[in-house]
Structure 1
Amino acid sequence: MLSKVVIPVAGLGTRVLPASKAVPKEMLTVVDKPVIQHVVEEAIAAGFTEIILVTRSGKQAIEDHFDHHYELEAELSRKGKTALLESIRDILPPGVEVISVRQPKALGLGHAVLCAAPVVGDDDFAVMLPDMLIDNAGQQRDMSSMAAAWKASGLGQIMVEGVPEDQVQRYGIVDCAGVSVNPGQSADIRGMVEKPDVASAPSNLAIVGRYILPARIMTLLKDTQPGAGDEIQLTDALQTLLSESGLQAYSMAGKLFDCGNKAGLLQANVAFGLQHPETADALRAYIDTL
C-alpha cells in the first residue's frame, strides 16, 4: 500500500518575489486556500495518509496551517460560523498526519527527497512538488490514476505532460521510444534528458512534478554525486533506477498550473475561481467586462 508522500517545501520562491520574501511561496493562495493545501488535498484524495514535508527555517507557517488554531476555532464556534469553522478544523481528515523533516542546505531535489529517508524507511512512496497544481475538474484525479498504474504494473511512475516542441528546453523530457501515450495511460520509459535542445529532444513529454517511486531510490540517492548546479539531482538517481528495474511515464489528463511563477499563479486563481461557488459568478462577470 502507498501511504507516504514527500513534499519538498524548502525552496526560496525567487520566481514570485517580492510576495515570498516573508511568506512561504507554498502559502500563497489560489482562491481561498494556500497552494500547499490544494496539493495535500490531492495527496489525501489519492489515499496517502503520511504527508512528509521537507522544510527549513522560516517555513513555520506551513506547519502552523495544518495544526489546530484553538483561539480562532473557539471564536468561530462562539459566533456560530459553522461553515468557516469546518473549513479550518477539517483541513486534515482523521487518520492523516503531517510530519516535518529539515533540509539544512538547498542541495537539490534529490537531496530534499533523501532528507525524508528516515521517515520513508523501506516503503515505496510518492513525491509531489508543492508549486505544481493540477486541475482535474470533472474527472478522476491524476494522482489517483497514477497510483492505480503503479499498483497494476509494479513499476515507478513519473507524471508527464505534452508541451509545445519549442519549449522542451525548459523541462526534463522522457524518452518512450516514440510510443504515443494517451492521457490517463502509462508507457515504459527508455531514458530521460534534462532540458534538451529542440533538435535532440526524444519527445515533448515533460516531467511535471509528480512521482511514485520504489524505496530503492533512497539508496541510489545516497550514492548519487552532485550533478547540474552542483546539486544532487533526482533525475540522475532515476536514470540509475531505470537501468535496474524500469520506470513508466504516466500522461496526465488534467490541466497543470505552475504556481511557482507569477503567471501560473494568476492563471490558477482564474481557473479555480471560476469553479468556486462563492467566486464563480462575480469573477465570470468581471472577465466579461475585459
Structure 2
Amino acid sequence: MLFPKQIELIEVGPRDGLQNEPVLVPTEKKKELIQKLARLGFARMETTSFVHPKWVPQMADANEIVNYCNQLGITYIALTPNMKALKRAIEAKVPQIAVFIGASSAFNKKNINKTTEESLDECNPMFAKAKENGIFIRAYISMSFSCPYQGEVSFNEVLGVCERFVKLGADEIVIGDTNGQADPKMVYERFLRLRELFPNTVFTGHFHDTKKMALANVLAAMQAGIAKFDSAVGGLGGCPYSPGATGNVATEELAQMLSSMGCEIGIDVQGLQEVSHFAKSLSSRD
C-alpha cells in the first residue's frame, strides 16, 4: 500500500463542528476548545466564520474568537462567504480565509442564493483583495460527489470550479464530500484525476461520516496522493443546507488510524481522547 508518510490534519471542529448546533455554545467554551486543540499540536484550525448571524447564529461571536486566536498566536482559518465578510477578516488580521462554492448549483442556490457561476464571478474581486493583503486562500468545493437536491455531481462540474479556483490563485483547494455520500472508488478516481490535471495544486480531503465511510474515503484519497485532511474532534458537524448529513470524520479516530499506520501527524493522539469528550459535551444533539 502506497500512501504519504506525513499527513496534515486541519481541525475544523470550532467552526464546521459547531456551526449547526441548535443551542448556542458559549464563547468562553469555544475559546477553551480552541486552546485545548492548540496544545495538542494542530498547525492549523478553522475557528470561526464571518457569516451573517441571522443565517448562522453560532458564529455571531466571530470577532471575539478571532481576537482570541490572534492572542494565542495560532494559524487559523475563518470562513468569508462574501466581500463584506472578507473586509471584516482583513480588519481583524485573519491569516487564512476559506471560501465555499458548491459544485452543484442546486446546493449553491440553497446555501447562498446564487448559482455556482455567480459565486465564481464574485470570487474574482475577493481573491484579488485577499492576495493584495497577503492572506492565504483556502477554496472549498462543496458537494464534490453528490448533492441532496441534485443527486449525482459529475466530475466535470467539480472540474469547472477547480479550474476557476486555480486560475484565481487559490493556495489550497478542498474537495468536500459535504453530505457524506461518497465511496472509496469514487474518491480515489476523482482525486487521482484532479492531481493529474493540476499537479502543482495542493488538494485537501473533507469527508463527512453519514454512511460510515469517512475513514475508508480518507484511505482512498491517500492512495491517490492526498496528504491533507479536514476533521472535527468528536465527529461534530453537519451542514445546515445538507439534510441528513452527519458530522465530519472524527479527528481522534482519524489520528488513531494514521498513527497506527506509521504516518507522522504531529498531534498528541492520547490527549485527543480527552479533548474529544470535552468537544462532545458542547453539543446538544443526541
TM-score w.r.t. the length of structure 1 is 0.30
TM-score w.r.t. the length of structure 2 is 0.31
Higher alpha-carbon Rg = 1
More helix by share: 2
More strand by share: 1
